[in-house]
Amino acid sequence: MKTSILAAVATFGLSGAAMACPDYNASPSASYQATGQQMYQERTFDVVAGGENYIWNCSNVRPGTDTGAGYFTTAPDFSFQISGMAPYQLVISMVSECDSALLINTSSANWYYDDDDNGNLDPRIVLTRPVDGRIDIWAGTYDGEYCNARLSMETFDR
């Protein structure tokens, strides 16, 4: 009996831990629509960066880019429905008051992570061939702290 209870607790405990990770199915804090042409002029969004989920404890998130530390919320901070992206590359970056990190999930189900490519401990991700569809963005921090940040999205000709 004791073994059955421990097995049930372990099973439910592990499934609960898997849910406490960045999840593109969770409702984003904010949603927007934009075209590649509209983002030819930089668009910025204020956000509080940080989160409670350590990215490398999350088996559902495996970025094909940088592999550094980062803490993110479960729900995306932003969800963008983008269109008209064929002639553009998309630059997503952040400027913050701390060591921030970015996590992105694209409509083609690819994860991207960055910590410092924007300089000054801030992240920057360049999608060289973004596809139309949904992009979910998490504004996190390297060390689990929270701070004010500004997300920037801008397109450039390829």
Angle at 107 between CA 101 and CA 111, to 5 degrees: 35
pLDDT of residue 12: 38
**CATH number of the domain where residue 80 is located:** 2.60.120.380
Those residues of the chain that have pLDDT short of 70 are 1-19, 64-67
Give φ, ψ of 11 to 5 degrees: -65, -50
- Structural domain count, the chain: 1
Distance of CA 16 to the CA centre of its chain: 21
Longest alpha-carbon distance in the chain: 65
* Structural domain boundaries enclosing 148: 2-157
pLDDT of residue 16: 42
Query: Can you give the pTM of this predicted structure?
Result: 0.85
Work out whether strand 147-157 and strand 88-96 pair parallel, antiparallel, or are unpaired: antiparallel
pLDDT of residue 64: 64
Distance in angstroms (rounded) separating the CA atoms of residues 100 and 59: 21
